[in-house]
Chains A and B, each alone.
Chain A
């Protein structure tokens, strides 16, 4: 059984690689390279998978998932400047691909503290940057790293 929960956060970012020239940055990242940055209302879907507990009839405690995502993702990311306020993006371009990987890593880092072995496992991160741009990261697919 898979369970998916949707969350929202608004954040700004600028796609810029310091090692490249201004011209190369503009060529690669286009409008997203605007020096002042820009923002999105991100829509995040977190999918967990596991067996349904025969007693409770549930695959995961949704309130617990909400608390974990709030602490690790929504709290630090919502209404933040990703480049300046999220340490991972001090040296890493905050493309939505990298943002999805960062969200996965943040959730996996403390997953066991929230969901003990034998319970629900993190399955997928889906991140919608705009209605036209959607990114999916399957947690156990090494091709995605």
Chain B
């Protein structure tokens, strides 16, 4: 069974590569390359897969999940300028994709065991744009 919990955080970011020219950055990242940064109300949907515990009837304690998400995502990310305040975005471009991977990296160790795993992270930048990450590819 899958269970999903949603959290929100508001943060600013800028997508630029220092090695590229202004023109190249604009070509690749468009408005996201504005050096002054801009912000979004990000929404993360974190999905766990597991078998309900026969005693509690729960896949995972949602209170604990809320605590983990607050500690690992909301507290460090909310009302921050990601590039300046949240490693590794001082050296990794905080694209939507890379933020989703960082959320995955911060969460995956919290749900160990054969009966429970982190299944996916869906990250919305707006209602009309989101990414889904399930831990694939080299990290």
Contact = CB atoms under 8 A, between A and B. Distances in A.
Interface of A: 1-7, 51-52, 55-59, 61-63
Contacts of A55: 17
25 contacts: A1-B101, A1-B131, A1-B132, A1-B136, A2-B131, A3-B130, A4-B130, A5-B128, A5-B129, A6-B127, A7-B128, A51-B137, A52-B97, A52-B98, A55-B17, A56-B17, A56-B95, A57-B15, A57-B92, A57-B93, A57-B94, A57-B98, A58-B95, A59-B97, A61-B28
B118 interface: no
B30 interface: yes
Given A4-B131, A52-B97, A57-B97, 17 more contacts: A1-B101, A1-B133, A1-B137, A2-B132, A2-B133, A3-B96, A3-B97, A3-B131, A52-B137, A55-B17, A56-B17, A56-B28, A57-B92, A57-B93, A58-B28, A59-B97, A59-B131
Contacts, number: 53
Nearest to A7: B128
Nearest to A123: B132
B77 to A, nearest CB: 17
Contacts of A62: 129
A107 B47 CA distance: 30
Contact of B100 (A1, A5, A6, A51): A1
